[in-house]
Structure 1
Amino acid sequence: MGSSLTPIFPPTIMLATREEDGVALPHESTRTSSEEGLHSTTMTQSTDNKEDVESGKDASTEPTTSPQFPEGGLRAWLTVLGGAIVTFCTFGVVQSFGVYQDYYTRISLNEHTPSTISWIGSVQVFFVFAVGLPAGRLFDAGYFHHCLLGGSFLYLFSVFMLSLVQPHHYYQNFLAQGIGMGIGMGFMFLPSLTLTSHYFRARRSLAMGCVIAGSSFGGCLYPILLNNVFPKNSGFGMGVRAVAFMDLGLLIIANSIMRTRLPPKVHGSEKASTLKEVVTDVPYLTFVVGAFLVFWGVFVPFFYLQLYAALHGVTPSFVRYTITIMNAASILGRTVPNFLADMYGPLNIIIPSSIISGGLVFAMFGASSIAGAVVFGAFYGFFSGGVISVMTPAAGCFVTHNDHSDLGIRIGLLSFTLAFALLTGNPIAGALLSPPHYRWSQPVIFAAVVIFAGAACHLIARRALVKRKGTVLI
């Protein structure tokens, strides 16, 4: 069962621009007396800045203008392509964890419960989001390429180590796949998604959706590859090494084509003031609680669909494609809703998508035949994909600063909160499954109820936000 965790919540969304990209930055003209002497001999200095110096005026006290965005161009779309490659290599693998869950449960770690095994995938995704906080600080400081290159190395090293693990050695899988790969993914994924917003504002939801859609393509390819190699002799090691070599080539391309723009520099006191404002914003906190509840349950089918189909009589030759079908549908689910979100508002899209996804969870009971698995996978993949990909743009609805300087903190707090939802949600579902009896109604009801509860929180947050902004397009 693949896990469609598309991690979509970068720790910081930088909104700065560079003059080299054709966008002017606000001038800051704070100078010392010695600089004034040098300034008097510099013929290229503007008259306005001269007047500021002579009058002792500090330009840093001027109101901050809202940054502008290219909204396209070669560099922008290469950045989107590079981000899509990163999500293909990272969350494409995460979304394929259901294949590992099925293989471990029935073969290589069959002495452990599904709940225990699911901790491998849950810890992996937890680190993807939790590492977003330190990765975001490094990103703010201008170390994007260090994060991407270092994360690529750690991730690829861990994948190669996973190919060498011995059957029935749980700790080896946990260290390589849960911790090593998870931390490496965290340093790559969230900064790569964050970088996209340097170039887009009006079409930000669509651009992020394109980046996140890369994970769906990976979620289609990896299950086919792994399911066709794992059953063979020495298939596990061969399949994982094939993934490692393919990702090596793709990540070389991503590291080569992604380029940063100049990030804003925010003083520590300003950050503290912004953080206090964010953590006391009740509508935003209500939204975060709702997001936690939705993410607590929305990935349960991605972890357990393949196991459910295998245990309910679906032919083995087709079971291996159940996750692929779900991820294929989520390609549209991560682009079409984002396109609509740019027109009608992210919250107006994510709320109905969450309600429909919660209802569709019950349709998992129909995945006991080929037709049922196809229909469920297609519909759930589409609507849950919309929930996952629009969550980050939805956080942007709550910004209160004209220059969006509080956007990074809001998304960082959301990302860190969701890490704990992803850490615990699937193990809870696995414990409720109660093997070897496999009481499927319990995890299904759990997932549906928490998704509905999250949608209710989002409705409350939306109502408060409509009053604050005076518009329903949010």
Structure 2
Amino acid sequence: MDVDTSTTELVMSSSATSEKSIPIQELQVPAVVVPDGGARAWASVAGGWIIAFCTVGYAQSFGVFEDLYTLAGASTATNIAWIGSFQLFMAFAMGLPAGKLFDAGYFHHLQIAGGLLFVFSLFMLSLADTSKFYQIFLSQGVGVGLGSGLIFLPSLSVQAHHWKERRALAMGIVMTGASVGGIVHPIMHNQLFHGSTGFTWTVRASAFMTLGLLVIANCLMTTRLPPKKNAPKPPIGEVFSNRAFMIVAVGCFLVFWGFYFPYFYLQLFVDIHGLDRTFAFYTLAILNAGSILGRLIPNLLADRYGNLNVMIPICFVNGILVFAMFGVKSIAGAAVFSLLYGFTSGSFISLIPPLIGAFSPDINKIGIYMGVGFFITSWASLTGTPISGQLLGTHFAWWKPIVFSGVVMLAGTVFVIAGRLLVVKERGTWRV
């Protein structure tokens, strides 16, 4: 499904109906042309890559904090999972207001405000007591999550200003930043947490690094549509009335419900099963390393064969792989699982933005479509890992969260298939 580029509507002044004539050149606005390349397009990809590195990459490293806070006695594994899940929830749920503001032309305003909040919250986290749940929740769950939400989705939406035919690939490249961030952050935090640096200065070091990177990213990214001073109300009703979109969104919600279980609990899983603790520190890094190719190859195929056609097998394999955790009994098994799940999970999350954006009939509405899509899936990110933690319990009954995650992900695949069938019927083409 490609997003059709529309011609910008003619803007008529209130005096257009009066006797005073207005030159036609003052009324016409050139059609929006998407270049599919160029220096500004690639610079925006680089800026988006940095944003993904700092935001989603940080969130996908929460397994390190889950392990640290649990062993520090801050609370139970279930309660601590709420910190990471709320961080993800805010990062995705804020896509709804951020999408509206992006469509209205406030892209750089969002980047500056969100970036400052993100960095400030990291400095507040550095002052938190790791045994005090509420301090961690407010700074990392609420503050970091809110800041992420203001900058992440706009950095993806802006790619639509520069790319059309190769949009999925461009967004996939952007999302590899999350994979690299998911490699760098866990290794850095694990090494420094358990070394001489300690928690406080480790978090401060990451805050200073993030500040510099966000400044560079904001300078690199550009928009190509003029600000809409008198923008009409965002077509939220239109989005929710799109049946195919809503069915696919429900499917993605179900997949997301079980999606983050390995990201949050794999390091703890390896620790509890008595495998090498040094290796446990690298499980998240291995998982995110596997996702690098997963964020590129499927997106390249999606540009050619259609987003939904590629998404369906990816969702199915994700669900099946979660059940493979039953067979993880050794370091080799954990490494293989991490690489495979990293590839398929990376494929799923990097296909989400172009998949959602492809439902938008107008480039000027892509922000609100992505905002609604991410808002829906954000509730799965909020509740999925705490449910898994509750099922896990204090006695670590691993089979319960594994079955829950696998089943809901396979159920989500069924909904995505149903959405594809409806789109094919409406559009009369198999390439969707």
What TM-score, normalized by structure 1, do the two folds share?
0.85
Aligned to 2:268: 307
The one-letter code sitting in structure 2 at the alignment partner of 1:358 is G
Aligned to 1:4: none
Alpha-carbon shift at residue 148 of structure 1 (Å): 0.6
Aligned to 1:346: 307
Aligned to 1:105: 70
CA RMSD of aligned residues (A): 2.6
Aligned to 1:5: none
* Stretch deviating more after TM superposition (260-269 or 156-165): 260-269
Q: Deviations over 1:390-413 (max 9, x none)?
A: 1222224434x4x45554433222
The separation in 2 between residues aligned to 1:233 and 1:447, in whole angstroms, is 37
**Does residue 112 of structure 2 align to residue 153 of structure 1?**
no
The separation in 2 between residues aligned to 1:367 and 1:451, in whole angstroms, is 20
Alpha-carbon shift at residue 339 of structure 1 (Å): 0.5
The one-letter code sitting in structure 2 at the alignment partner of 1:387 is F
**Does residue 95 of structure 2 align to residue 132 of structure 1?**
yes
When residues 201 and 108 of structure 1 are mapped into structure 2, their CA distance, relative to the original with a 3 A threshold, is same
The separation in 2 between residues aligned to 1:124 and 1:349, in whole angstroms, is 28
The one-letter code sitting in structure 1 at the alignment partner of 2:48 is G
When residues 249 and 107 of structure 1 are mapped into structure 2, their CA distance, relative to the original with a 3 A threshold, is same
Q: Deviations over 1:183-210 (max 9, x none)?
A: 1111111111111111001111011111
Aligned to 2:370: 411
The separation in 2 between residues aligned to 1:360 and 1:293, in whole angstroms, is 16
When residues 93 and 167 of structure 1 are mapped into structure 2, their CA distance, relative to the original with a 3 A threshold, is same
**Does residue 254 of structure 2 align to residue 288 of structure 1?**
no
Q: Deviations over 1:422-462 (max 9, x none)?
A: 00000000000011x10000000000000000000011111
Assess if the C-alpha contact under 8 Å between 2:298 and 2:310 holds in 1. yes
Assess if the C-alpha contact under 8 Å between 1:71 and 1:202 holds in 2. yes
**Does residue 334 of structure 2 align to residue 369 of structure 1?**
no
Alpha-carbon shift at residue 114 of structure 1 (Å): 0.5
**Does residue 141 of structure 2 align to residue 178 of structure 1?**
yes
The separation in 2 between residues aligned to 1:334 and 1:253, in whole angstroms, is 23
When residues 143 and 327 of structure 1 are mapped into structure 2, their CA distance, relative to the original with a 3 A threshold, is same
Alpha-carbon shift at residue 258 of structure 1 (Å): 1.6
When residues 137 and 283 of structure 1 are mapped into structure 2, their CA distance, relative to the original with a 3 A threshold, is closer
Aligned to 1:331: 292
When residues 277 and 140 of structure 1 are mapped into structure 2, their CA distance, relative to the original with a 3 A threshold, is closer
The separation in 2 between residues aligned to 1:281 and 1:312, in whole angstroms, is 46
Identical columns (%): 47
The separation in 2 between residues aligned to 1:33 and 1:384, in whole angstroms, is 54
Secondary structure, counterpart of 1:473 in structure 2: coil
Alpha-carbon shift at residue 69 of structure 1 (Å): 0.4
Q: Deviations over 1:288-309 (max 9, x none)?
A: 1111101001111111000001
Aligned to 1:204: 167
Alpha-carbon shift at residue 249 of structure 1 (Å): 1.6
Bigger CA radius of gyration = 1
Which of the numbers 378, 382, 393 marks the counterpart of 2:354?
393
Aligned to 1:75: 40
The one-letter code sitting in structure 1 at the alignment partner of 2:371 is G
Aligned to 1:190: 153
Alpha-carbon shift at residue 38 of structure 1 (Å): 8.2
Alpha-carbon shift at residue 28 of structure 1 (Å): 4.6
The separation in 2 between residues aligned to 1:449 and 1:136, in whole angstroms, is 31
When residues 116 and 33 of structure 1 are mapped into structure 2, their CA distance, relative to the original with a 3 A threshold, is closer
Assess if the C-alpha contact under 8 Å between 2:279 and 2:331 holds in 1. yes
When residues 165 and 198 of structure 1 are mapped into structure 2, their CA distance, relative to the original with a 3 A threshold, is same
Which of the numbers 411, 428, 432 marks the counterpart of 1:470?
428
The one-letter code sitting in structure 2 at the alignment partner of 1:344 is Y
**Does residue 3 of structure 2 align to residue 32 of structure 1?**
no
Unaligned runs of 5+ in 2: none
**Does residue 401 of structure 2 align to residue 443 of structure 1?**
yes
**Does residue 76 of structure 2 align to residue 93 of structure 1?**
no
When residues 465 and 264 of structure 1 are mapped into structure 2, their CA distance, relative to the original with a 3 A threshold, is farther
The separation in 1 between residues aligned to 2:403 and 2:272, in whole angstroms, is 19
Unaligned runs of 5+ in 1: 1-12, 17-23, 40-44
Alpha-carbon shift at residue 244 of structure 1 (Å): 1.0
